[in-house]
Structure 1
């Protein structure tokens, strides 16, 4: 009896509540970002910082190498206390270089923070455009084809990348150097 009552309630809810289809779409953020001058500028800035920090670390290791060669050349002339002091200095410099390397390139280091800071502008532009496109097209869900979320099949009909690019004022035509595997068609989702 309880089972029958459950099914009656289930069917009544099913028919009383109107079925509402949810609209969804997807974008390819890598494709969009590759066309954005703000993104290219951010990448250039990130490379500059990474190169500068790499050079700083390399300079520290060159200095350590000089200290080691000087120690090896003078080792036979040094007293035991002087040897220990030189070895301590070399060891301290090696530790400082390792610590600096971890501080810059380690997990959530300076490079990570700089990337986050410089990528904020292009990502904010895409998000604002997405909000606008979703409101205009009455979309309930937007997925990112470039994310870790696996999309085994995508119908180009649901690709809203071109709308976002148009909103951002970017060229939607594929370039000869674009190796984007997605099938960009001229028909847009409805």
Structure 2
């Protein structure tokens, strides 16, 4: 903890010693005040729940097939056992593939999130860049995501200005 505090003071001292200007913003605050962000998140959550239900339905089918197999295994021939085992494995594989398709690293949920949220983030970035160039800020820190910021004066917080330029003024 002492190292983080010391590093923060060193960063601030370095920035102020070279007469550089900096600002803070709170991305969480900004996002909460943009209705399109809330709508995008709600749409992503609804889609995610729908897709999760599809995956769970396949997993439940596989579990039911397995339970039925266990109950009937004593009465099945070797060929029937093999056939049922293959059906269970195929259903489990189908569920795993669907999970990967929807929730994998480059799956449908990732693509949907990118298509809905990336434009909003780009707008915010452009406004922050515009304000920074206008005011001569060399550095803008996000107080919501940086744990090294212990205190930030409200005088250097540009969150409301960003919201105003985006058309969501207070």
Per the TM superposition, whether the score is higher than 0.5 is: yes
1:35 to 20, 33, 36: 33
Q: TM-score, normalised by structure 2?
A: 0.80
1:127 to 105, 125, 140: 125
Query: After TM superposition, which residue ranges in structure 1, 4 or more long, deviate above 6 angstroms?
Result: none
Q: Which residue of 2 aligns with 1:156?
A: 154
Q: Which has the higher relative contact order, 1 or 2, with Cα contacts under 8 A spaced 6 or more apart?
A: 2
Deviation at 1:73, TM superposition (A): 4.3
Deviation at 1:64, TM superposition (A): 1.3
8 Å Cα contact 1:38/1:121 also seen in 2: no
Q: Any idea what the Cα deviations from partners look like across 1:139-158, whole Å, max 9, x if unmatched?
A: 22111112246212211111
Q: Which residue of 2 aligns with 1:102?
A: 100
Q: TM-score, normalised by structure 1?
A: 0.72
Give the count of matched residue pairs: 154
Pairs within 5 Å for 1:22-101: 22-101=20-99
Unaligned runs of 5+ in 2: 1-16
Name the SS for the 2:151 alignment partner: coil
- Tell me how far apart the structure 2 counterparts of residues 58 and 117 of structure 1 sit (CA, whole Å): 26
Larger Rg: 1
Q: Any idea what the Cα deviations from partners look like across 1:1-36, whole Å, max 9, x if unmatched?
A: xxxxxxxxxxxxxxxxxx962111011011000000
Unaligned runs of 5+ in 1: 1-18, 173-190
Single out whichever of 74-83 and 25-34 deviates more from structure 2: 74-83
- Tell me how far apart the structure 1 counterparts of residues 149 and 49 of structure 2 sit (CA, whole Å): 35
Name the SS for the 1:140 alignment partner: strand
CA RMSD of superposed structures (Å): 2.1
1:168 aligns to 2:159 (yes or no): no
Pairs within 5 Å for 1:140-155: 140-148=138-146, 150-155=148-153
- Tell me how far apart the structure 2 counterparts of residues 149 and 132 of structure 1 sit (CA, whole Å): 25
